[in-house]
A and B are shown apart, each in its own frame.
Chain A
Amino acid sequence: NAGVTQTPKFRILKIGQSMTLQCTQDMNHNYMYWYRQDPGMGLKLIYYSVGAGITDKGEVPNGYNVSRSTTEDFPLRLELAAPSQTSVYFCASSYGETKERTEAFFGQGTRLTVV
């Protein structure tokens, strides 16, 4: 069981370039999340999705876009990379139907540097 898989693990971008961070899960979870973690800081929610075709903004959505065309995949798009987007990005997923099944499972992270 692979769980939550993020690709790539590392990436260096130049200012103004664009890229997509991939996230896929094989647990049939409805809920998926994208976070960024800056050094010495907590996780900040970028976007989340409660099911295929439904997305919503989190705490820090500016400069990012998402889509959720399938239950399994939740890619995060950076259109015009800026140095302020240098961070470690984590994808997570969870069930959501009952309070007892709300544990979130995390990927291993993508370390992005914008130069």
Chain B
Amino acid sequence: GNSVTQMEGPVTLSEEAFLTINCTYTATGYPSLFWYVQYPGEGLQLLLKATKADDKGSNKGFEATYRKETTSFHLEKGSVQVSDSAVYFCALRNQGGKLIFGQGTELSVKP
């Protein structure tokens, strides 16, 4: 079946630190991969996506590369800001349209 596993949080960083949030997946076929972000009291919004192997998704300084050989889609940012504090979700969408999420990783950035 399809599943997504993320590193557990919470993750606490100082401003300007480097961020990595690990995500691995299990899927048949060729899924699309996503990172979504959720700010307090809100729904999820798309951060970035990649639709095929070796694609790199990027947005707002965040990046993730679709690695089929390691079934991974790790999220990275070179220098985090206090405003990046949120919960981050890795997700996959299979070819039948089923969209499933990992358990989320809470990020807290301190000034």
A contact set with B: CB distance below 8 Å: 4, 31, 33, 35, 41-45, 48, 50, 56, 58-59, 90, 92, 94, 96, 99-100, 102-104, 106-109
Q: Number of B interface residues, CB 8 Å?
A: 23
User: How would you classify the secondary structure of chain B's contact residues: helix, strand, loop or mixed?
Assistant: strand
B contact set with A: CB distance below 8 Å: 6, 32, 34, 36, 42-46, 49, 51-52, 89, 93, 96-104
The one of A94, A99, A109 in contact with B52, judged by C-beta atoms closer than 8 angstroms, is A99
Given known A41-B104, A42-B104, A109-B43, contact A103–B98 (CB-CB < 8 A): no
Q: How far is the CB of B43 from chain A (nearest CB, A)?
A: 3
Given known A42-B104, A43-B89, contact A33–B43 (CB-CB < 8 A): no
The answer to whether B100 and A106 touch across the interface, beta carbons within 8 angstroms, is no
B residues less than 8 Å from A48 (CB atoms)? 97-99
Q: How far is the CB of A66 from chain B (nearest CB, A)?
A: 14
The one of B32, B49, B101 in contact with A35, judged by C-beta atoms closer than 8 angstroms, is B101
A residues less than 8 Å from B103 (CB atoms)? 41-42
The answer to whether A50 and B97 touch across the interface, beta carbons within 8 angstroms, is yes
Assembled-state Cα–Cα distance A56/B96 (Å): 11
- Tally of A-B residue pairs with Cβ under 8 A? 62
Assembled-state Cα–Cα distance A100/B103 (Å): 25
In the complex, which residue of chain B has the Cβ closest to the Cβ of A45?
B100
B residues less than 8 Å from A50 (CB atoms)? 96-97
A residues less than 8 Å from B98 (CB atoms)? 45, 48, 56, 58
The one of B42, B89, B96, B99 in contact with A94, judged by C-beta atoms closer than 8 angstroms, is B99
Extra contacts, 12 of them, besides A43-B89, A45-B99 (Cβ < 8 A), are A33-B99, A42-B102, A42-B104, A44-B101, A45-B100, A50-B97, A58-B98, A102-B32, A103-B46, A104-B36, A104-B46, A106-B43
Assembled-state Cα–Cα distance A35/B36 (Å): 14
B residues less than 8 Å from A96 (CB atoms)? 97
Assembled-state Cα–Cα distance A104/B93 (Å): 10
The one of A4, A102, A108 in contact with B93, judged by C-beta atoms closer than 8 angstroms, is A102
B residues less than 8 Å from A43 (CB atoms)? 44, 89, 101, 104
A residues less than 8 Å from B101 (CB atoms)? 35, 42-45
